[in-house]
Amino acid sequence: MNLALKILREIALLSACAIFTAIIGLIVIDQIAMPIYVRQGVEVAVPDLIGLTPSQAQAQLQDKGLRLKEREPRWDASVPAGQIVWQNPSALSHVKPNRTVYVAPSLGQRLHVVPDLRNRPLRQAQLWIAQADLTVGKITEISSSEIKEGNIIDHKPKAGEKVAQGTQVELIVSTGPTRAFVNMPRVTELKLDEARRLLLSLGLQPNNIRYEFSTAYEPDIVIRQEPESGTPIKRGSPVLLIVSKL
């Protein structure tokens, strides 16, 4: 009797396991397998249209039973003008046949017009350059009797040119009229090369150089100068430098 009950219990347990397994199988089929099967039957994958021309995209969509509609073109430096830069739905999305896929062609790299900066103060020119999405490049200063000191004489690229975002605009700035006289700077105790560079930058001619023995200075140090510092001197005038040597 006990053996018969044991056999019945095992049969019942096996039946319950079989029923449970069947239920799980039905759930998997209903929730996973069937949707995939149904979707494959009534939906299609949207192709990747980025980088294609609208006509190329149209042909690919027609093959899948989809339609194309263009949106406003967009600026994009990474995609050449005329090629698709955006699409919705995105590539590999599953949609029903006859669905419309929206795309936006690229306008290519956006160009910016260089403003006319001539005869504008440097600060204003820098602001205008920034507002045009450009950057300030090399600034060169030269004298001018026609353009006010601190104003722009000229610039490159020229006004009206169309350039890429971030392009550097080189500026030439006026230092005003050239002065005939400058005050002689103090160059004593400077190295000879440093003294020469300073004098040349002021339009003076440090070509008259004499050497004297000195134990108070290292070699090639200016120990005296003529004219003395502070003396008005005409541009182009020669300057005498007395330089130490051992």
What confidence tens digit (pLDDT) does each residue in 197-216 have? 999 988 899 999 999 999 89
**CATH 3.30.360.10, domain 112-174, yes or no:** no
pLDDT over 50 at 243, yes or no: yes
Write down the pTM of the prediction: 0.50
pLDDT value, residue 49: 96
What is the domain partition of the chain in residue ranges? 1-42, 44-108, 112-174, 181-245
Q: Is 127 helix (H, G, I), strand (E, B) or coil?
A: helix
Residue 143: pLDDT band with limits 50, 70, 90? confident
The CATH fold assigned to 181-245 is Trypsin Inhibitor V; Chain A (3.30.10)
Give the mean model confidence (pLDDT) for residues 108-124. Answer: 95
The reply to whether 181-245 shares the fold of 44-108 is yes
Q: 195 near 206, Cβ under 8 Å?
A: yes
Helical segments of 50-121, H only: 54-63
pLDDT over 80 at 164, yes or no: yes
As a CATH number, domain 44-108 is 3.30.10.20
pLDDT over 90 at 42, yes or no: no
Helical segments of the chain, H only: 2-28, 34-42, 54-63, 122-131, 192-201
Residue 228: pLDDT band with limits 50, 70, 90? very high
